[in-house]
């Protein structure tokens, strides 16, 4: 399987994502921001970093990169697109996901382990998890507070499009210990077609025992399984 990993000026989690892919024995393909050819990849990852130096606001400039035109077409055709941290911000700026990411409520950059409750296993990214399961995944951001209007939040909840929610280690509500103050403790959401995922935590940094958690590998493995199932279905037809 081939994971395409976007590289914008200021991206710095591309190699971390590539390493997580390689741990599973799959291939990563760098996708330069000026290019339009996705190279036949099976999943596009928009990794973390500070694309274009976060000028204007996070993700605002990257949204207009030539590569993003192809990513939007890929997503519209049902292709899997995964935005992590800055990638989530870019997806919201590109209107591939609703809402926005704003300054952390603490006004501090937070780099720490967080606990995420899997809210739905009915996505290509979480199919290998159980709903209600708690994963240990680190964050590293200063603008990770997810916000949206009430009607959008209600729709995300009703359509089970909240993929992850920040919780305490035991799975109980995180309360005042929220790492960024995201509305309804939302850590990740999926698109209406469930083929686009945006999340602030970094699963690629929880891909090996040396990193303190392997929970992130399960998301990468879920994508691999989803792509394999799609391929098998296409052959069967």
Query: Is 214 a known active-site residue?
Result: no
* CA 95 – CA 192 distance, rounded (Å): 12
Alpha carbon separation from 53 to 7, 8, 86 (Å, rounded) = 13, 10, 11
Query: Is 26 a known active-site residue?
Result: no
Q: Residue 100 burial (CB < 10 Å; 0-12/13-18/19+)?
A: middle
CB atoms within 10 A of CB 154: 12
Query: Which residue from 193, 111, 168, 178 is spatially nearest to 146, judged by alpha carbons?
Result: 178
Alpha carbon separation from 30 to 12, 168, 228 (Å, rounded) = 12, 35, 21
DSSP reduced 3-state for 103: coil
Query: Is 225 a known active-site residue?
Result: no
Active site residue: 26, 33, 141, 202, which one? 202
Active site residue: 43, 85, 92, 129, which one? 85
Active site residue: 93, 119, 143, 204, which one? 204
For the annotated catalytic residues, the residue numbers are 85, 202, 204
């Amino acid at each position: 399987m081939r994971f395409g990993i976007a590289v914008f000026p200021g991206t710095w989690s591309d190699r971390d994502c590539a390493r997580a892919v390689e741990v599973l024995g799959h291939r990563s393909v760098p996708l330069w921001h000026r290019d339009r050819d996705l190279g036949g990849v099976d999943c596009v990852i928009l990794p973390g970093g500070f694309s274009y130096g976060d000028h204007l606001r996070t993700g605002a400039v990257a949204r207009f990169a030539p590569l993003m035109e192809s990513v939007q077409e890929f997503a519209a055709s049902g292709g899997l697109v995964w935005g992590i941290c800055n990638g989530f911000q870019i997806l919201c700026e590109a209107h591939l996901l609703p809402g926005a990411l704003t300054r952390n409520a603490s006004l501090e950059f937070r780099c720490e382990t967080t606990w995420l409750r899997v809210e739905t296993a009915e996505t290509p990214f979480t199919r290998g998890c159980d709903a209600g399961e708690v994963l240990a995944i680190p964050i590293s951001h200063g603008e990770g507070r997810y916000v949206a209007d009430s009607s959008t939040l209600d729709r995300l909840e009703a359509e089970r499009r909240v993929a992850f929610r920040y919780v305490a280690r035991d799975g109980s509500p995180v309360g005042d210990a929220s790492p960024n103050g995201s509305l309804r403790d939302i850590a990740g959401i999926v698109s209406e077609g469930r083929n686009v995922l945006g999340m602030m935590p970094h699963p690629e940094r929880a891909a090996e025992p040396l990193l303190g958690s392997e929970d992130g590998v399960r998301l990468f493995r879920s994508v691999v399984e989803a792509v394999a199932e799609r391929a098998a279905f296409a052959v069967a037809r």
